[in-house]
């Protein structure tokens, strides 16, 4: 009989428990060093620097989460769509 931990891969951390650095790392683990995504993240971070959401969290987390939801939950592989998600509020 297999233990549950042996039969199923561990779940990745919930997106809402990651800070900006964790979200960026998780995104870059998928896209690698793609220049378009790197530039999109840099521009988005610059534009939203210091901004917060209504609940007080840094705004930059929102576009990173949207991009990761597209990839992880919807299976989107197109890096142009990932960039669009990152830049959707710029």
pLDDT in tens, 32-56: 889 999 999 999 999 999 999 999 9
Q: Say whether pLDDT at 5 is over 70.
A: no
Verdict on whether the full-model pTM lies above 0.85: no
Task: Place 14 in a pLDDT band, splitting at 50, 70 and 90.
Answer: confident
DSSP 9-61: PPPPPPGGG--HHHHHHHHHHHHTT-HHHHHHHHHHHHHTTT-B-TTSSBTTH
């Amino acid at each position: 009989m297999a233990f549950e931990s042996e039969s199923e891969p561990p779940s990745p951390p919930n997106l809402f428990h990651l800070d900006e650095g964790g979200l960026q790392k998780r995104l870059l683990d998928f896209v690698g060093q793609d220049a378009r995504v790197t530039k999109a993240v840099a521009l988005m971070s610059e534009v939203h620097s210091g901004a917060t959401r209504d609940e007080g969290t840094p705004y930059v987390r929102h576009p990173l989460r949207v991009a990761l939801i597209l990839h992880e939950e919807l299976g989107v592989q197109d890096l142009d769509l990932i960039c669009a998600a990152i830049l959707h509020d710029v």
